[in-house]
Amino acid sequence: MTSLDLALLGNGSIGALIDAQGAVVWCCFPRFDGDPVFCSLLAGDSPRDKIGAFTIEMEGAVRTEQQYLPDTPILVTRLYDAKGGVVEITDFCPRFEKDGALFCPKLLVRQVRPIGGRPNIRVRVEPAADYGCTKRQHALGAGHISYAGDQALRLTTNAPTEAIADRTLFHVTETITLMFGLDDPVAGVGDVTSKGTTMLERTTAYWRNWTRSLQAPPEWRDAVIRAAITLELNVYEATGAIIASMTTSIPEAPNTGRTWDYRYCWPRDAYFTADALSRLGEMRTIERYLAFLLGVAATTDDAHLVPIYTIDGGPIPDEHVAKCLPGYRGMGPVHVGNKASEQAQHDLYGEAVLTAAPLFLNSRTSQAGDEALLARLEPFGEHAARLFEVPDAGLWELRGAERVHTFSSIMCWAACDRLAKYADRLKLADRAEYWRSRATSVHEVISRRSWNAKLNAFTATMDGDSLDASLLLMPRLGFLEANDPRFAGTVAAIESQLKHGDFVYRYVERDDFGYPENAFLVCTFWYIEALAAMGGARREEARLLFEKVLTARNRHGLLAEDLDPRTLEQWGNFPQTYCMAGIIDCALGLN
């Protein structure tokens, strides 16, 4: 069983991770990148009742069962004792249509229902502040407990508040409801269980209607639907921004110091997420994310993009260490902010233009691409045409030195190529020819400078001799056909140097932190896609490998960023949107 045996809850406003015993081990307020009020995930070996915990424990529990309600992010945990006592915990964040708008309050709802016997439970709610440094003072009220802080929080409940505050056992005879969120009137007064039950019913109906609207392939349908729900939970409803992951600083491999904060919007990761959802027919996400991206670009004079944004489109915090959190299994440091935001990453302009593809090339969108949108995208193309031969940090965000990364250059080509296609669709012959000419020039330079005849492969950098798994995306991006001998040579070279067992590493050369120890999982998905596109016997290889990768998911169908190829243990921030998008892309490619 993977050590990251966690389930993700959320509603587009907040997200929470629940462990196999039903404890909330990670939840930030008032939004994805906020202060983690529940942070035991990164508390090392600290006791479960320390600050930053939200647990529901059953006296004498001997086993647990846990699963999502089908086609929802609603989690059900059952605790059993040895005397026939059973309690059922249902956890969710409300999300449904209300008064003509999507209602997704900053609220975590937990309902505890006795199923058998005479169960006793203990509820511990110890929200933290300042990244685990401060215990919030609480005050008991009528049917609620308030927790002080810069952002005041409240637990509204029909359970005995004194028992919760004192951490004492109490007998469960009827359904109790615990609503945790901002200290505002969302939970309200009155019958809290009735309110919670209504929210649960409406949230269940919302997600099942949403999943029915997706065009998921029959084969691997459940894996695809779970991936799609997970991706949608990483979309910030207020702005349309898409984060890379809900967590910070789960290490890529044990005791490596490779710990990063992923609770922000990378235009690169966001593109892959939005694109995967659009391939299932979910167009609202990509339309809203594109509006977010164009909005942040409009705040500059020349549509300049940076590698990372906060979920409201601003600059992210300077990278610093959260001194009171030891880290996942004690493996710190725990970072807040991400220094990669200061880098040059030139592929961003390609991903920005590619994000708009469904609006120009897909009739299912509600907002068809037009001349006005093309005009807003063209500055991205100008940046791409100017920067494709300029050194950058690359998509792997290397901190030691800048080089001319082939993937960045290919994405710059993609920006020019797609702008030509968009102009063609709009019958703007002059604009189409302008961008086609630029794309042709960029393609020629990449084909000449990034091809290594000795290796019979495209290389990670222009005029280089190392390999990069991102080049497996060349057919998907349209830079080469999958049957091009140069692509076959590149795949063979990657298999020879970057494939360890069944899994593909992003690179194997030494970086700022030494040599990579675990496989960056999305690269294996890209490899599966490449094999499927090559066809023939390679397609059957892709199918078998995809089935094996799916076995590496945790019990809830979720994947972290990295995988130990020997043990299949998951590492890295969790769940990782790159990987969940990879499930969708591979399933569609193999269908």
What's the CATH code of the domain at 445? 1.50.10.10
1 falls within a domain: no
For residues 230 and 192, membership in a common domain is answered with no
Q: Where does a domain end: 209, 242, 258?
A: 209
Instruction: Output the pLDDT for position 400.
Output: 75
DSSP assignment string, 487-551: HHHHHHHHHHHTEETTEE-S--S-BTTBS--SEEHHHHHHHHHHHHHH-THHHHHHHHHHHHHHT
Q: Cα angle vertex 265, ends 204, 392, to 5°?
A: 150
For residues 114 and 229, membership in a common domain is answered with no
**What is the number of H-type helices and E-type strands within the chain?**
15, 28
**Residue spans of beta strands (DSSP E) within 395-494:** 451-452, 457-458
CA–CA gap between residue 36 and residue 129 (Å, rounded):
7
CA–CA gap between residue 244 and residue 577 (Å, rounded):
6
* Count: domains in the chain: 2
Using only C-alpha atoms, what is the Rg of the chain?
24
Instruction: Output the pLDDT for position 451.
Output: 98
Instruction: Output the pLDDT for position 428.
Output: 97
CA–CA gap between residue 436 and residue 177 (Å, rounded):
60
Q: Which residues contact 191 (CB under 8 A, 6 or more apart)?
A: 158
For residues 193 and 249, membership in a common domain is answered with no
CB 243 within 8 A of CB 577: yes
pLDDT, tens digit, for every residue of 333-363?
Answer: 999 999 999 999 999 999 999 999 999 987 6
CA–CA gap between residue 37 and residue 470 (Å, rounded):
36
From the list 411, 372, 376, 408, the residue with the least C-alpha distance to 298 is: 376
From the list 528, 419, 524, 424, the residue with the least C-alpha distance to 482 is: 528
CB 490 within 8 A of CB 550: no
Taking each helix axis as running N to C, give the angle between helix 577-590 and helix 221-233, from 0 to 180 degrees, rounded to the nearest 10: 150
Q: Where does a domain end: 175, 209, 243?
A: 209
CA atoms within 13 A on the CB side of 165: 18
For residues 377 and 505, membership in a common domain is answered with yes
For residues 193 and 222, membership in a common domain is answered with no
For residues 327 and 470, membership in a common domain is answered with yes
For residues 518 and 382, membership in a common domain is answered with yes
236 falls within a domain: yes
CA–CA gap between residue 106 and residue 398 (Å, rounded):
36
Instruction: Check which CATH number belongs to the domain holding 141 and give it.
Output: 2.70.98
Domain that holds residue 466: 213-590
For residues 276 and 417, membership in a common domain is answered with yes
For residues 450 and 405, membership in a common domain is answered with yes
Residue ranges of the chain with per-residue pLDDT less than 70: 1-2, 46-49, 185-190, 363-366, 510-514
CB 179 within 8 A of CB 155: yes
Instruction: Output the pLDDT for position 171.
Output: 94
CA–CA gap between residue 394 and residue 347 (Å, rounded):
8
**Phi, psi angle pair for 201, to nearest 5°:** -65, -45
For residues 178 and 278, membership in a common domain is answered with no
Burial class for 170, CB neighbours closer than 10 Å (0-12, 13-18, 19+): middle
Q: Where does a domain end: 178, 209, 240?
A: 209
For residues 149 and 181, membership in a common domain is answered with yes
